[in-house]
Amino acid sequence: MIIESAEVVVTSPDRNFVTLRLTTDDGLVGLGDATLNGRERSVVAYLAEHVAPLLVGRDAHRIEDTWQFLYRGAYWRRGPVTMAAIAAVDVALWDLKAQAAGMPLYQLLGGASRTGLLAYGHASGPSLPSLFESIHQLLEEGYRAIRVQTSVPGLSKVYGVGSSALYEPAGRVPMPVEEDWDSRSYLRHIPGVFEAVRAEFGPSLPLLHDVHHRLTPIEAARLGKELEPYDLFWLEDCTPAEDTSALRLVRQHTTTPLAIGEVFNSVYDYRSLISERLIDYVRSAVTHTGGITHLKRILEYAGQYGIKSGIHGPTDISPVGMAAALHLGLAVHNFGIQEYMKHGALTDSVFSQSFTFTDGLLHPGSAPGLGVGLDLDAAGRFPYQTAYLPINRLKDGTLHDW
């Protein structure tokens, strides 16, 4: 099964997506997601200029050797752009191998370890009534776990509170939008929000919250401790992820489960977090972490320490990347939960998918390979549009983590 062509397809139905499309000499097509929100064109260049030309003529069955060729052969290792490019190749090759074998991809990863994948959805609202309405809406859609994000009194725009059901943080704007932040206002507000949510929805509904990189270690420790009575499923990105030692302090003060890693891109980012049991969930997406081959290694390592998967699944992970996450999540033993923000109708008109969401559980389906198709004509109708993630500033204008 020789690779005959490697195309980089950029399309922007509801938002920008980058897809690698490999075609083999026996006519199979494999897809890989290479979307890096707000930096899409950097991965396009990496793939088109430095990877695609090297793939033509390679044996598509040699997934591990191709991974090592692209990782060690690049000399300059790791980083979000490199690992997203490698991920796209890796997933496309797994897609091809599973199609050639005539089975869904998860069967090549060890087969199903469960009947379906617990999903969580994003509830948000600028006020408690609107937040409650959002939670009820997700429960009616079948979600069994809910991420809760709200506005903060005194702040005009806060992460995670969208103006529409399809919340997409990267606006189609020529320059990043400036949002405002104040950690003390946030810390004063959030415990009361979860007290009210628990009073309204009861003690057992799994609730998650994303701090989105914004607190100091002692602030995160305080929040984790104050949220303990509300029994969160996890508190996510409570401190900037690259400061891995911060979680040692947080861990000393709270038993609230911690999730981190959506901005990580290799096992090396996780080493101390896993070996010191500083986290409870691995947040990486297949798309940003070198693909199925590498994320499977990370999850197997994490599983030795009782740490589970919590694979990243916002709208900026394409249906291709989402399907890859579901095949991996179905097979690994230490699955935890899968983030699932539904894509829009325009995206679904470009990408056909086989996965299902039934009674709160996701399943990748039984189509050979990933089970995802890319309509090139439809993709061509939605050209790339410049889009950036927001930035955050404190009241005095200091740039803060977004």
Catalytic residue set:
159, 212
The smaller minimum CB distance to ligand CS2, of residues 16 and 99, is found at: 16
In the chain, the N- to C-terminal Cα span, in Å, equals 44
Q: Are 20 and 89 in contact (CB under 8 A)?
A: yes
Q: How far is the CB of 367 from ligand CS2 (least distance, A)?
A: 26
CB of residue 148 vs ligand CS2: minimum separation in angstroms?
A: 12
169, interface contact from ligand CS2, Mg ion, none, CB < 5-8 Å by kind: ligand CS2
- Please list the helix, strand and coil fractions of the chain in percent, rounded to the nearest 5, in that order: 40, 20, 40
Half-sphere exposure of 241 (CA within 13 A, CB side): 24
The Cα–Cα gap between 187 and 182 comes to 9
CB of 360 to ligand CS2, least distance (A): 18
Per CB under 5 A, contacts with Mg ion among 251-270 are 262
Which listed option, Mg ion, ligand CS2, none, makes contact with residue 179 (CB within 5 to 8 Å by class)? none
Task: Give the nearer residue to Mg ion in terms of CB position, either 314 or 371.
Answer: 314
Residues 6+ apart with CB under 8 A from 361: 115, 116, 117, 118, 119, 144
- Choose between 96 and 337: whose C-beta lies nearer to ligand CS2: 337
Instruction: Determine the Cα–Cα distance for residues 261 and 302; give it in Å rounded to an integer.
Output: 12
Closer residue to ligand CS2 (CB): 90 or 339:
339
Q: Give the number of other Cβ atoms within 10 Å of residue 335's Cβ.
A: 20
- Minimum distance from CB of 35 to ligand CS2 (Å)? 9
Which two structure tokens, joined as six digits, stand for 211?
Answer: 């701090």
- Between 174 and 213, how does the x/- string for binding to Mg ion read (CB under 5 A)? ------------------------------------x---
Taking CB atoms, the residue at the shortest distance from ligand CS2 is 37
Choose from Mg ion, ligand CS2, none: what does 269 bind? Cβ within 5-8 Å by kind: none
Dihedral-angle region of residue 264 (phi above 0 means left; psi in -120 to 50 means alpha; beta otherwise): beta
Strands 258-260 and 281-282 come out as parallel
Q: 6 or 259, CB closer to Mg ion?
A: 259
Q: Which is nearer to ligand CS2, 112 or 389 (CB)?
A: 389
Category of 202 on φ-ψ map: left (φ > 0), alpha (ψ -120 to 50) or beta: left
Which positions touch ligand CS2 (CB under 6 A)? 37, 169, 210, 212, 262, 314, 316, 339, 389
# chain residues binding Mg ion, by CB under 5 A? 2
Q: By CB neighbour count within 10 A (0-12 exposed, 13-18 middle, 19+ buried), where does 253 fall?
A: middle
327's contact among ligand CS2, Mg ion, none, with CB below 5 to 8 A by partner kind, is none
Q: How far is the CB of 166 from Mg ion (least distance, A)?
A: 17
The interface partner of residue 90, options being ligand CS2, Mg ion, none and the CB cut-off 5 to 8 Å by kind, is none
Helix (H, G, I), strand (E, B) or coil at 181: strand
Q: Restricting to residues 49-108, name those near Mg ion by CB under 5 A.
A: none
Return the one option of ligand CS2, Mg ion, none that residue 37 interacts with (CB less than 5 to 8 A, by type): ligand CS2
Q: Is residue 316 at the binding interface for Mg ion, with CB under 5 A as the rule? A: no
- CA dist list (Å): 291 to 305, 325, 327: 22, 9, 12
Residues in touch with Mg ion (CB under 5 A): 210, 262
